Structure 1
């Protein structure tokens, strides 16, 4: 019949060399345990996609994020390259930061100048308000010119030091840093004003 296997009634006789090896003990008898089923192996490897204890998972995630933020904040204070965010990593970015921090930039005084000029508009009579506005625009123009010159300066220094191994936007990174107040810059400045940078 189709689909049915005939079973033989003859006993299985082990061949002589195999039987001799089994008696001798030179060959292992077997692995000593049954082969596990596929379903059992897959069930042992299976992990839940959704964690059953959500509170514990959320707490562990918060702790991990807090530790990462602490490392990043410490790196921002000390300049440790290992834990800096990707935006600030690399020797080129470190070099640009040092060049910008050693230079007196017009942009770092823009906020103070704007604050003083706004106060003057309230203190001075309206006839002088026009001169205050012109003074503010003059300062903004000075910041634009200084940023343009700084961009050229950084591009030349980067090319002289690193050649073609400069990520795009590195000079622009320095220009944006120059527009920030020195005390609020992150990573913190590691050089003094006027310090020579090689």
Structure 2
């Protein structure tokens, strides 16, 4: 209503009315034809420049590896490997990393056993005690891992109701790794259990 009056006043004054620029995209433009859209998306099955294509593929793979490596360091959920993704896996990791696990020292005990068995003579009585000590440590690790599995199953059930398949095993295997070598890296300190 007011625009017409202004337009009429502008015309009577001899000034041409300014027209709004037509939008290039949006509702005012015609829908592209299907043939044109398919032609724009069409790519050759075999690229014409194979050397450049291989180089681009190598670069893309290197970028993806770098993203995954950073995610394993920082715990970024978006770029973690599929086996480490999800809230239940993260909860299991944090629970394992918050407690002291005997299993993470099993490899050191095994290495010490091998070294001592070379030093101590085979026929001596000390060799028997060393073997007994190793089996005691091994049995304690099994008991500790069993206790962790029960604790983890209970905590996961309390928080998530249903446990995803393999989550408890995932946590138990993580408990057998030396803490500084675990991937993804621990995001909690000892004693800092997830709620």
TM-score computed with the length of structure 1 as normaliser = 0.74
| Structure-1 residue corresponding to 2:149 | 151
Question: Structure 2 stretches of 5 or more lacking a match?
Answer: 1-34
- What is the CA-CA distance between 1:46 and the residue it aligns to? 5.4
Please name the residue that 1:189 is paired with.
186
Displacement of 1:132 in angstroms is 1.5
Partner of 1:16: none
Q: CA deviation at 1:45?
A: 7.1
**1:135 alignment partner in structure 2:** 133
Mapped partners of 1:150, 1:45: distance in 2: 53
- Match for residue 94 of structure 2 among 88, 92, 98: 98
Bigger-Rg structure (1/2): 1
Residue 173 of structure 2: aligned partner: 176
Residue 115 of structure 2: SS of its match in structure 1? helix
Aligned CA-pair RMSD: 2.2
Gaps of 5+ in 1: 1-37
Deviation at 1:42, TM superposition (A): 8.9
The answer as to 2:48 corresponding to 1:52 is yes
2:159 corresponds, among 158, 161, 184, to: 161
C-alpha deviations, 1:127-155, integer Å up to 9, x for none?
A: 12222222222222211111111111100
When the two structures are aligned, how many residues end up with a matched partner? 159
- Mapped contact 2:89–2:167 kept (Cα < 8 A): yes
